[in-house]
A and B are shown apart, each in its own frame.
Chain A
Amino acid sequence: MMKKLTGARIVIEALIQENVKVIFGYPGGAVLPIYDELFKQNKIRHILVRHEQAAVHAAEGYARSTGKVGVVLVTSGPGATNTVTGLTDAMMDSVPVVCISGQVPTHMIGNDAFQEADIVGITRPCTKHNYLVKEISKLAESIHSAFHIAKNGRPGPVLVDIPKDIQTFETKYGGKKHTKSFAFYKPNTKPSLDTIIKFVTLLEKSKKPIFYVGGGVINSGSRASLYLKKLLKITGFPCTQTLMGLGATPTSDDQFIGMLGMHGTYEANLSMNKSDLMICIGARFDDRITGKVSGFSPKSKKIHLDIDASSFNKSVNVDLLIQGDLSKILEMTLKYIEKKGISFSKEKISAWWIQINKWRAKNCLNYKNSKSIIKPQYALQRLDFLTKHLDPFITTEVGQHQMWAAQFLTFNKPKHWMTSGGLGTMGYGLPAAMGVQIAYPKDLVIDVAGEASILMNIQEMSTIKQYRLPVKIFILNNHYMGMVRQWQELLHGNRLSESYMDSLPDFVKLAESFGATGLRVSKPGEVDDLIKEMIKIKGPVICDVVVDPKENCFPMIPSGSTHDQMLLGPNDKLEGEISEEGMVLV
């Protein structure tokens, strides 16, 4: 005989069935029954964050570093609305997250009750799907469906809103197996052999090919990365990666020609621009990548591999699209190549590589180093050099430091780089680093931050203290919202409206007040010792690296421009004025 359980208990049992080990949350009136059940068990660990937005980012960090679903538990009203930024972030960057929110009891819904918010209505456009559970009989089904939807197809966040009375009602729960079928959601994951043959034929013909690799490869799993690595080796083609795709294959590989896009390398962007065949794998032709669409890679045939049919022909029309799970597509491609005994002539693309190496020789990431002031690029180069052997997990906030981190750090393994790409959420990095550290308690986790972004979720220092998370926070402190200032210099006559960071805290004392170690340097000669010290310290560390306040991030494709209109350094001037069309772009 199946025993009757309360809704709250069913939530916990269902989470256990989904193999959930940790949830990030914050209690409140409308979820007290669930928190009570959490108290009574020891299979799921609860991490108490200090703000619900941070709970979602932590779950994202956990999900992106492990490939599992990240789980969030919050109360109704403000608890739920605080998750909106995090959910939108997870939606944009395709991160599997399940967010469980409490709701006022069913009979109070619509009454403007205390701490009531229509969170299902609010999050409809920023979740992959959401549920309001109005009957106890639908509870288990909704939770299991949420996990199924979050991780299958293109991953994304799913919210389950559970009114308080539902949490106290009782019903039978026979486990996941006995829950009404929730597998109705079956995205197409298997490509047709026909398209694979066309794909390989195009690969064979190309003289100027380029692989343009996005985060989809990482989402598809480690097999996708392995297959892609193999395909790269067989073809000998150059490869560029998006901000989300970094680490999909090792960035130390000689075929890797740097990140592409607005702050991508000269060689990556020009290769995109001049190629005759572009193979987009798990990326989405985002506006940071394409620049002005009408001038985007005008002469290439384009192939798009993706699981999400709505990504096809959205902003750029392609010649061949292959829908499916990337690891399956790549596996089928390799098998076909092997079966047919196809070999790729390195000679055919040798002129292309000569050209690319000429672009490479421009050394576009070069910067003028200084003996008296720390250049942010230098600090990151040293960080990379001194930590690379430890395969650190890197998270970032959003802004100049994020772009420099993408440019100067090495990513040799997938799932080691967590950054807010699509939404560009300042305040992402610290809670994301917490989520990663929870998943990998012994590994080195570094949040590369700016002094402005870090303040957006600085309350999480308290969470870090409570759970003794040895997160390292590496602040490149330039006293400005650097990216805002850079755009103001470039586009708004150097009128630095509200971008100066006045009244900053003393980060060393701030660290100490949370039981962490605070370190500060302002001379280039001190950087190495700081990093070594940071690694040596067992607990959390805030490094306040005081850097050149005026340094800007290059290369840069100004908004509304094309890949061949890059600014390579501070002495590069814009050709003419930025068009009105470009001025309105972000």
Chain B
Amino acid sequence: MTESHSKHILSIMVDNEPGVLARIVGLFSGRGYNIESLSVSEVDSDRFLSRVTVVTSGTKNIIDQIKAQVRKLIPVHNLIDITELKSFIGKELILVKLDIKQKTVIKIHEHIKNIGAKILFEDETVIIIEFSGTPTEISSLIKKMKVYNIVELTRSGLVSMALGKDYIRR
């Protein structure tokens, strides 16, 4: 019998101190949990708090265990499982660098406009575009861009929050 795996978005408020990310990441790797996406940055410079968003997957038992283990870390103030809340949004940012061949440049411009992406930089050799959206939208964008020559791309990882009340602060 295999239990069903499900994807979870965990939002974790931590003290912004050296090594705090290593504690979280080390816990995941040491105990064999998955990290599908990770993003982290300071969000409160007065209280030195950072917010970490981890996308992980596992059975219910494993997800419960992950949450209990993360909550045990001393610099962790609060953890919420965004996926368990009624409604939430999740967005990612992507930058894509395309190799331009003269004949396609007008087509690319038009295409980018249609998709709703932004051109950040352009010269005679490359175009860098910026796009933000849900992970599905991002995947779909990458698929569409594949008709061009993608030189490189980078994604920010998912950031997410619950709708309505601010759940992350106690």
Contact = CB atoms under 8 A, between A and B. Distances in A.
Q: Do these two chains really belong together in a complex?
A: yes
Interface of A: 120-121, 124-125, 128-129, 132, 134, 149, 185, 308-310, 312-314, 317
B72 A310 contact: yes
B87 to A, nearest CB: 27
Nearest to A149: B74
A310 B69 contact: yes
Interface SS, B side: helix
Given A149-B74, A310-B72, A124 B65 contact: no
B23 interface: yes
Contacts of B73: 129
B61 interface: yes
A230 B128 CA distance: 73
B69 A313 contact: no
Given A125-B26, A309-B68, A312-B68, A132 B18 contact: yes
Of B22, B71, B72, B73, chain A has the most CB atoms within 10 Å of the CB of: B72
Interface residues of B, number: 16
Nearest to B61: A313
Nearest to A124: B26
List the 10 shortest-distance A-B pairs measured between CB atoms, nearest first: A310-B68, A129-B74, A309-B68, A125-B30, A310-B69, A124-B26, A310-B72, A125-B26, A313-B61, A185-B74
Nearest to A309: B68
A317 B74 contact: no
Of A124, A149, A185, A308, chain B has the most CB atoms within 10 Å of the CB of: A124
Contacts of A134: 18
8 contacts: A124-B23, A185-B74, A309-B72, A310-B69, A310-B71, A312-B68, A313-B61, A313-B65
A539 B68 CA distance: 48
Contact of B65 (A120, A121, A129, A310): A310
A185 B65 CA distance: 20
Of A120, A128, A185, A309, chain B has the most CB atoms within 10 Å of the CB of: A309
B64 interface: yes
A91 to B, nearest CB: 12
B164 interface: no
Contacts of B19: 120-121, 124, 132
Interface in B18-66: 18-19, 22-23, 26-27, 30, 61, 64-65
Of B22, B65, B73, B74, chain A has the most CB atoms within 10 Å of the CB of: B74
